Structure 1
Amino acid sequence: MGKAFDYNLDFNNTDFRARPGLYRMGKGEQGVLLVQPYKGELLPHWRFRTPEIARASAEKLYQCFLEYRDAGDFVGMDMARKFLQMGYTRSRRYANHASGQKYAGSVPADKKGRSGAHGRPQLPRDPDPVKAESARIFYEVWQRAAADPVYMAAVAAHKARLRES
């Protein structure tokens, strides 16, 4: 099995806590809304509407990260890190575009689920300083998680296992 995130897995019926060997980190936030049971555990805590809500959300997600770390659960740590990263990226999206829409028009049917412009023009920026502050909060906590020495060692071990397989 390769190192890339495998979108062909049966995510509705796969428990990645019970089968962590199936997990692939992928790039950035790949799989953040697919990998169970972590999605179900983390998604209810993911909010960014205001800086106060973002701060509470980021700290709760970081607390989950620490709990997964203390339990030796690499997949949980990585998923919590992805939710923190997604808090940052979504807050930035709304900080730059109040509607949350970066591009004009709808995504072509054959490009659904893939990021990118797909030939659509980018909408002008409509800055929102409140969402920018939410993004800053998530960014700081995301970086704290990503720099955690236990997490970094677990990432290295995970990648080494994949190279051996």
Structure 2
Amino acid sequence: MVGRKATNKVLVPPDSPLAAPALKDQSLCFSYEIARGEMGVLSFEPYKGLILPYWAFRTVPIAEKSAEILWTIFESYVERGDLVGADMTRKFIQMGMTRARRYANHKGGRKYGEDGKQLEKWTDDDVDGKRKEKEEASEVFKAYWRRCIASESYVQLKKDWSKAKKQYLDAQG
């Protein structure tokens, strides 16, 4: 089943491992770009649609549950040898960290105004604790992101995938 959220906004983990379409489709697998940071995370289908329902950071408890679910998805993709799924999940975890941080730094999460100029950072007192909550949510994701990039299996999978992609592209001419 694709990701689902309960009506009380509690994230529910997937019933079974998410699909790994890149394992069956070389052209999909090697059209993927690891890229820098979280680039491409919201555009590479079908993985975006598979993983996105589990990504949320509105409150610390929601961020904790989301990061935990995303970590299990990441591990599942690594175990199955699906670099694309693992890296996309790593990007969602990283995006949880950066987006929550942006909401901590800028009211409403907007870094740039309609004119394209950078908005000033939040300067008000944090009377409601919303800024602190977003900072804490960011730290939750940051801890999981560090686990992702420190995973020896993931690092090796990335090396193997990069080598295989080069061979695939060389063979394509």
Which residue, out of 102, 119, 122, partners 2:111? 102
Q: Which runs of 5+ in 2 are unaligned?
A: 1-20
Q: Which moved more, 1:49-58 or 1:24-33?
A: 24-33
Report whether the alignment pairs 1:33 with 2:75: no
Shift of 1:29: 0.6
Shift of 1:105: 2.7
Aligned to 1:20: 29
State the secondary structure of the residue aligned to 1:99.
helix
Q: For the residues of structure 1 that align with 2:63 and 2:79, how far apart are their CA atoms?
A: 24
Q: For the residues of structure 2 that align with 1:142 and 1:21, how far apart are their CA atoms?
A: 24
Q: Which runs of 5+ in 1 are unaligned?
A: 1-14, 108-119
TM-score after normalising by structure 2: 0.74
Report whether the alignment pairs 1:150 with 2:147: no
CA RMSD of aligned residues (A): 1.7
Q: Percent identity?
A: 39
Aligned to 2:68: 59
Q: For the residues of structure 1 that align with 2:91 and 2:118, how far apart are their CA atoms?
A: 28
Aligned to 1:123: 120
Q: For the residues of structure 2 that align with 1:121 and 1:39, how far apart are their CA atoms?
A: 28
Deviations 1:84-117 (A, max 9, x none): 000000000001112111123344xxxxxxxxxx
Residues 72, 121 of structure 1: alpha-carbon distance in 2 compared, 3 angstrom cutoff: closer
State the secondary structure of the residue aligned to 1:32.
coil
Which residue, out of 80, 83, 86, partners 1:74? 83
State the secondary structure of the residue aligned to 1:102.
coil
Aligned to 1:3: none
Residues 121, 34 of structure 1: alpha-carbon distance in 2 compared, 3 angstrom cutoff: closer
Letter in 2 for 1:154: L
Q: For the residues of structure 1 that align with 2:146 and 2:65, how far apart are their CA atoms?
A: 16
Letter in 1 for 2:121: P
Letter in 2 for 1:89: T
TM-score after normalising by structure 1: 0.77
Shift of 1:159: 3.0
Residues 121, 46 of structure 1: alpha-carbon distance in 2 compared, 3 angstrom cutoff: closer
Shift of 1:129: 0.3
Shift of 1:40: 1.1
